[in-house]
Amino acid sequence: MSSIIKRLDKRTGITYVYESTSYWDKEKKQPRSKRVLIGKVDPETGDIIPTDGRGNRRKERLKNESADPVVKQGPVPAIRTERLFYGATYLFDQIGEATGVQADLKACFPDSYKQLLSIAYYLILEDCNPLYRFSKWAKLHRHPFGKDISSQRSTELFQSITEEQKMKFFRLQGERRAEKEYWAYDTTSISSYSETLSQVKYGKNKDDDHLPQINLAILFGEESGLPFYYRKLAGNIPDVKTIRELIRELDVLGYQKAKLSMDRGFCSADNINALYKDHYKFLLGASTTLKYAKSFIQEVGETKDHFEFYNNDFDLYVFTKTIAWEYEQQRPYKGDTIHEERRMYLHLYYNPEKQVDDAKNFNRRMIQYREEILSGHRIPEHEKFYRKYFEIKETPKRGISVTYRQDKIDAARERYGFFILISNEVKDPITALKLYRTRDVAEKAFWNIKDRLNLRRTRTSSESALEGKLFVEFIALIYLSYINKKMEDGHLYSKYTMHELFDELDVIECFLEPGKAPIQGEVMSKQEQLYRDLGVTPLLAKPGQQ
């Protein structure tokens, strides 16, 4: 005798259907039953879906379960009665349309873009919460996918993301950025406990974590404030070594007219020559030890604080000159090296307050490094400084003795308070400084990645899962960067933190009832204004709501 039995798996929310056959066990002399899995219950129709068999590929299951259903024109009816939070996810829906993220994701991931968006929404709203809590969040919020995504399924989703799909997305997003704007390029480090990820290496950790790491390089539009490209790097690769690969990938993506803004960590003769060779416009922070800079500082001399060079907007003394960069290009195919002069603009800035800080910092380093030498605990990374500023002698009787190289100290003192920018396009020093200072968009984005999106640690041991997770974190970062830019432009940070802003909107509800279109809950006037301040079409307040 057989019967049909249904069992709910609480971990996944799936109801499985079994065929149970009863029989008499002669050995144990008692009735027994044998169950065979025959399918699962469709949550929308209640129909039994036959099992697909173990031979189907995981990617096909993802495709089948996430594909958009065919719907008729008009409002989509609800399948069950529920009341969901909607205000914040509505904001993200609108941002996705405004930035083209939703359309570009759909073009690159037609079968899973809604899942990617839902996870990105969750990462933004539930900052610092791990992905296994997605199920609870999904039950309370209206989101693009509309269903639960188990922890195992999210891992499978991450692993299904290909490099080809990512590059297509970067290309589509890059095409939406203005060609005339400068692109800020910077890197950050993400620590990891993993011993299986090949690119986890010890390097210069920007958070002073004493852990191995991977590095993440990101490209931002300085006017839009939005990121549109990133690349994962081995943790031991310094910033200065990443430019040639960046140029190669920009060429692959079709960005031949890019204008790059970078800090002094990327400045080297090799990188500058590479940028000239490939005809990229650039704005670079540079060290005052650069020979062109030292010469200009000596030329300025005692006039460094003359009022005619003072700029009231930045409270700085500003100088500029055109120099001839000594360009070199090695040509292995011809076995020679080209030597030419290329025009460059050198912008010099003097800040009296920085001069005081530079002096204090230098003196502290001198004291610290002298103690390192005398104690015998010398640090390899400091050897260059030791040799430059100290005369070190060691004898069997007197031990280690240290004297100072005053001529080198005096040369360093001449540079206190100065900083420089170099460019092959921007002639005006104030314009250059304004452009360069917009690079703080990168610093704010890195804070969002690590703190709000909970990525101070990789928290995965699979290469493919890490690649996919980083991509979804990057999608979430686009939304956060958009909101940050709007909050700054609208001076909203004087009234709200970003968390408070989300809380203010997240309480707006949406009521769903089978057979009817969604019903929007109450919207207060200040919530409506918030939507306007953030540059999206608002959910409108109803008459009588304040």
Strands 259-262 and 183-191 turn out to be parallel
Q: Which residues pair with 6 in a beta bridge?
A: 17
Return the half-sphere exposure (C-beta side, CA atoms, 13 A cut-off) of residue 497: 5
Give the pLDDT confidence of 393-420 residue by residue, as tens digits: 988 888 899 999 999 999 999 999 999 9
Task: Give me the phi and psi of 389, to 5 degrees please.
Answer: -110, -5
Q: Is 78 within 8 Å of 514 (Cβ atoms)?
A: yes
> How much is the average pLDDT of 474-494?
92
**pLDDT value of position 74:** 42
How much is the pLDDT for 196? 56
- Reply yes or no on whether the pLDDT at 72 is more than 70: no
Instruction: Summarize pLDDT for 119-160 with one digit per residue, the tens.
Output: 999 999 987 777 888 999 999 999 999 999 998 898 899 999
Which residue type occupies 420? Answer: I
Per-residue confidence (pLDDT) for residue 470, from 0 to 100: 87
Sequence-ordered list of residues with C-beta below 8 angstroms from that of 136, at least 6 positions apart, any chain: none
Contact 232, 218 (CB under 8 A): no
What is the tens place of the pLDDT at every residue in 442-467?
666 666 665 655 555 555 556 778 88
All residues at 6 or more sequence positions from 410 whose CB lies less than 8 Å from its CB, including other chains? none
Provide the token pair at 14: 């799936």
Return the closest-CA partner of residue 23 out of 12, 32, 13: 32
pLDDT mean across residues, the chain: 83
Write the pLDDT tens digit of every residue in 49-61. Answer: 776 544 444 444 4
- Identify the three-state secondary structure at position 144: coil
Domain spans in the chain, listed from the N-terminal domain onward: 2-51, 355-413
Q: What is the pTM of this model?
A: 0.72
pLDDT of residue 206: 56
Q: With a cut of 50, say whether residue 345 has pLDDT above it.
A: yes
| CA-wise closest residue to 185 among 259, 237, 116 | 259
Q: What is the pLDDT of residue 353?
A: 95
Cα separations in angstroms, 188 against 97, 191, 515: 29, 10, 50
